[in-house]
Amino acid sequence: MTIQELETQYTSGLYTKRPIAIIRGNGAHLWDSDENEYIDCVGGQGAGNLGHANPAVAAAIAAQAQILISCPEMFYNDRRAELIQKLIGIAPNSIRRVYLCNSGTEAVEACLKFARLATGRKEFVATMRGFHGRTLGALSATWEKKYREPFEPLVPGFSHVAYNDLAALDAAITDRTAGVILEVVQGEGGVRLGTPEFLLGAQALCRERGAMLILDEVQTGFGRTGRMFAGEHYGLAPDLMSVAKSMAGGLPMGAALIGERVGPLPPQTHGSTFGGNPLACAASLAAIDYLQSHHLPEHAAELGAWFAAELRKIDSPLIREVRGLGLMVGIELKQKVTPYLQALMAKGVLALPAGLTVMRFLPPLVIEQDDLSRVVNAVREVLTDDRIA
């Protein structure tokens, strides 16, 4: 049986799969089981900022695996102590403490629970097109109907306002609002950038009304947008911040970063068996060191600006808009994106959708300009080929 047949037989069936089996990677390149090479602009859906087979991350994982893999938070641990100190050093100034977990949705769950603990309030305001994960709390903050409807009733008390509509947000925050949860750039929702007025306005409204500002930086964090965290572009000082995806160089890890307005959390109110395990902590330390020492956020800023500018030069009636911040770039088409993504794959470029009509690029931040220039050429070819779609 082929890899594809084996997986198809026993997998959950939840994912729409592409027909290739990826078996190896190096930097921004991937290989399938037929030895075809691809330029990777899926980037592990945001978990691949450090590049595939990153030597520093691989060495840290191998070394720590021979020392200690599991160590619950009932004990102290050297790697964990180092990591949380490191995280406080790179986080916004408002952040004081760190809760470690294992995924984006867990990080969001923790932020929601901590906002309730801090305020004694129950309700949340989220945004249309927002994506925050699939567990029941995070899903309640998520907008997309097809993710939500099969699982209703969700957690009560969530409302959604249009992204970048400050007046709507103003009207939605009441004295029952525990928190406002926002992405700085909406990822799954179509690579949509928050305006400074909206994001800073949300922060001011939260402070004025006693609600917590929760920034979801699961996708935008760790250099993706050209800064370590996207909120830095706007000088945001969140009360809670969820991070995950590239946090540990591709190993599963997440965190809720806890701000000064949240205050200390009552003992025993939350926790995780795997949270803060030394293996993930060692990987994360290596990943953050590598991001800093190789100036990957700066590289993402420069290369991302160049990439978006090159994409804007493509003359195709299919393009509605090119949007991006750093190496988080989207092309909104006037048509469904799937056939164009398939055509790109046939040309050796892997990219992602964001909703039905947006082509999204999340390459590893180690990618070089000649690879991205090949991506631009492939995109130009597929978007000017009238035999597709």
Instruction: Name the DSSP class of 228.
Output: S
Binder to ligand PLP among 105, 164, 225, 246 (CB under 6 A)?
105
Query: Closest CB to ligand PLP belongs to which residue?
Result: 104
Binder to ligand PLP among 25, 48, 51, 104 (CB under 6 A)?
104
| 166-185 positions binding ligand PLP, by CB under 6 A | 183
- Which residue(s) pair with 329 in the sheet? 324, 361
Taking the C-alpha atoms of residue 285 and residue 282, their distance in angstroms, rounded to an integer, is 5
According to the binding rule CB under 6 A, does residue 246 interact with ligand PLP?
no
**Residues across the chain:** 389
Can you say how many angstroms the Cα of residue 331 is from the centroid of all Cα atoms in its chain?
A: 18
User: How many contiguous H segments (helices) and E segments (strands) does the chain have?
Assistant: 12, 17
CB of 310 to ligand PLP, least distance (A): 25
Binder to ligand PLP among 54, 94, 103, 164 (CB under 6 A)?
103
| 250-279 positions binding ligand PLP, by CB under 6 A | none
φ, ψ dihedrals at 177, nearest 5°: -80, 115
**Burial of residue 222, with CB atoms counted within 10 A of its CB: 0-12 exposed, 13-18 middle, 19 or more buried:** buried
Contacts of 354 (CB under 8 A, 6+ apart): 187, 188, 189, 190, 191, 330, 360
According to the binding rule CB under 6 A, does residue 193 interact with ligand PLP?
no
Binder to ligand PLP among 132, 160, 233, 261 (CB under 6 A)?
132
- The H or E element that residue 324 is part of is strand 319-325
CB of 143 to ligand PLP, least distance (A): 12
Binder to ligand PLP among 244, 300, 301, 343 (CB under 6 A)?
244
Binder to ligand PLP among 187, 226, 238, 330 (CB under 6 A)?
187
Structure tokens at 220: 């935008």
Q: Can you state the angle between helices 369-383 and 338-346, rounded to 10 degrees?
A: 130
* Angle value at C-alpha 120, between 114 and 124, nearest 5 degrees: 65
Q: Which of 88, 191, 190, 165 is nearest to 180 (CA)?
A: 165
CB of 100 to ligand PLP, least distance (A): 14
According to the binding rule CB under 6 A, does residue 304 interact with ligand PLP?
no
Q: Which stretch binds ligand PLP (CB under 6 A): 4-12, 48-56, 92-100, 130-138?
A: 130-138
| Closer CB to ligand PLP, 133 or 223, in the complex | 133
Binding mask 357-386 for ligand PLP (x = CB under 6 A): ------------------------------
Binder to ligand PLP among 38, 99, 131, 163 (CB under 6 A)?
131
- The amino acid present at 220, given as its one-letter code, is T
CB of 47 to ligand PLP, least distance (A): 8
CB of 79 to ligand PLP, least distance (A): 21
- The H or E element that residue 341 is part of is helix 338-346
CB of 381 to ligand PLP, least distance (A): 29
| 206-235 positions binding ligand PLP, by CB under 6 A | 216, 218-219
| 27-46 positions binding ligand PLP, by CB under 6 A | 46
Is the separation of the CB atoms in 331 and 322 below 8 Å?
yes
Is the separation of the CB atoms in 182 and 200 below 8 Å?
no
Which parts of this chain interact with ligand PLP (CB under 6 A)? Answer: 46, 103-105, 108, 131-133, 183, 187-188, 216, 218-219, 244
